[in-house]
Amino acid sequence: MQGVRVGDWRGNQVGNFDPAAVSDLRRKLESRAADRLLARAEALPAGERVLLRSIYADGKSAAELATLMGCTPKKARARVRAIVSRVMSPMFGFVVAHGASWPESRRRVGVACFLQGQSQRDAAHALKTSLHAVRRHCQTIQVLAQAARYGEVAA
């Protein structure tokens, strides 16, 4: 069994980080990786945060969660995989690390699209703004993340 290590928000890899391995509920996750995942999960909406905490801190199985959620274990595992994939993405970490310094509208779009995982269309509807404005903010956030990744000055 291969150990799973987590990279930092820039996407730099520490050891053998494999997002699929982090979300594989059949494997035992290293404590450092689980701690890192749970720390990042603090930025998630309450329901998703509780779901990850149940699995990675409390040790519940997908079958137990499926019973509580009222769905099949397959759907519960798929939901956990999607959340873990989003939480461990470099964009998630970047928005958490830098979002507080952005203008209000950009921060709200970053939270909706990159932290909550909403589509740009859903975010535009929820934020009561145009799809064009959401798309432009997402593009700006991605450019800022890329600039930070390559050591350029980013605001």
Q: What is the pLDDT of residues 103-125, one digit of tens each?
A: 999 999 999 999 999 999 999 99
Q: Quote the pLDDT of residue 29.
A: 58
Q: Quote the pLDDT of residue 12.
A: 40
Q: What is the pLDDT of residues 7-63, one digit of tens each?
A: 444 444 433 445 555 555 545 556 777 888 888 888 888 888 888 888 888 888 888
Q: What is the CATH number of domain 91-149?
A: 1.10.10
The average pLDDT across 73-84 equals 89
Nearest CA to 87 out of 13, 34, 25 is that of 34
> CB within 8 A of 82, min separation 6: which ones?
117
In the predicted structure, residue 155 carries a pLDDT above the cut 70: no
pTM, rounded to two decimals: 0.72
CA-CA-CA-CA torsion sign (109, 114, 120, 122): negative
Q: Please answer whether residues 25 and 55 qualify as being in contact, where contact means their C-beta atoms are separated by less than 8 angstroms.
A: yes
Q: Where are the domains of the chain?
A: 19-88, 91-149
CATH architecture designation of domain 19-88: Orthogonal Bundle (1.10)
